[in-house]
Amino acid sequence: MKALIYHGPGDMSWSEAPKPQVLNPGDAIVRVETTTICGTDLHILKGDVPAVQPGRILGHEGVGTVVEVGPGVHDITVGDRVLISCIKSCGHCSNCRVGLYSHCLGEEGQSGIGWILGHLIDGTQAEYARIPYADNSLHKIPENVSNIEAVMLSDILPTGFEIGVLAGRVNPGDVVAVIGAGPVGLAAVATAGLCGAGTIVAIDRDTNRLDQAQGFGATDTVNSTHVDWQSQVLALTDGEGVDVAIEAVGLPETFTMAVDLARQGGRIANIGVHGASVELALQDLWIRNIGITMGLVNTNTTPMLLKLVAQHKIPVAKFATHFFTLDRMIHAYDTFARASETKALKVIINRASALA
């Protein structure tokens, strides 16, 4: 088969690779029909995720058709159209039993981490992918949900909701600031209303993404290139700061922006993948009663979010802005990496030219 292979920082190729085989009883082999590129993939290419070794097939998002299952798979069958979760779950370890799938202790890849696709084992940016613990790591897709809609639930939608909105404890009427209007930030914007956020402020340097944010539910937008950006945000509150600041970029300066915006007793929910150390001024924060959360998505809300998408409650198809076929994977990476120029949110890569 063909696959997107990582050769080290800054180096990748669309090359021949062995077709995956069932290795364990709980495995399924999925014929990938639709995949996409995540900001985390760009972090890998920059060398920010050293656990990813040269030779790894990248990608942790996808939709496809099951073509083979191991003898231990009971709920997924050959022919099922499935959503591939970015997090694997064995379903029976101590962490999985309490819903901490992000730290599944199953034996695949590396003990204690749920994100293994395109990280510790080969991923989904390929013609076929092996999915461990298929009964828990794959989700059957309702007929009225398209591949394009479904692939947004592999990662960005549950990540924005769980690590941004839920971890940030968004309450009815809250003022929420989302710093970074990229795909994950927009997922937080799109789902903040599920918890009753009253004001949702999208903050970014990119005017196109700020315009896009309004279509995902932002009540207000602020361009952070303006010298008075912070005053603009505070003017939307009682002057004390926001209830929840969601950091969705992964840079020291954007984390500092979140700290500066939070009100006394406010919460900071860090979604961004950080490749550099961030200074945490505890000498200033402790007396402000600031709560800070961060983490890797568990995807335990995926079934619920899939129902909402099927009911057209969340406009996930709007994330898709550019379309490619698998053989143009390198071009898709180039488009996604230059999002400020190309105005890309999520690039959709299909096995064939059909967009459904």
- Output the tens digit of pLDDT for each of the chain's 356 residues: 999 999 999 999 999 999 999 999 999 999 999 999 999 999 899 988 889 999 999 999 999 999 999 999 999 999 999 999 999 999 999 999 999 999 999 876 556 789 999 999 999 999 999 999 999 999 999 999 999 999 999 999 999 999 999 999 999 999 999 999 999 999 999 999 999 999 999 999 999 999 999 999 999 999 999 999 999 999 999 899 999 999 999 999 999 999 999 999 999 999 998 878 999 999 999 999 999 999 999 999 999 999 999 999 999 999 999 999 999 999 999 999 999 899 999 999 999 754 43
Predicted pLDDT of residue 353: 54
Q: Is the dihedral of CA 48, 49, 50, 53 positive or negative?
A: negative
Fold classification of 2-155+299-350 is: Quinone Oxidoreductase; Chain A, domain 1 (3.90.180)
pLDDT, residue 276, reads 86
Say what the pLDDT of residue 37 is: 98
Residue 106: per-residue pLDDT = 84
pTM reported for the whole predicted model: 0.94
Residues of the chain within CATH 3.90.180.10 domain(s) are: 2-155+299-350
Does domain 157-294 match CATH 3.40.50.620? no
pLDDT at 110 (0 to 100): 58
Positions of CATH 3.40.50.720 in the chain: 157-294
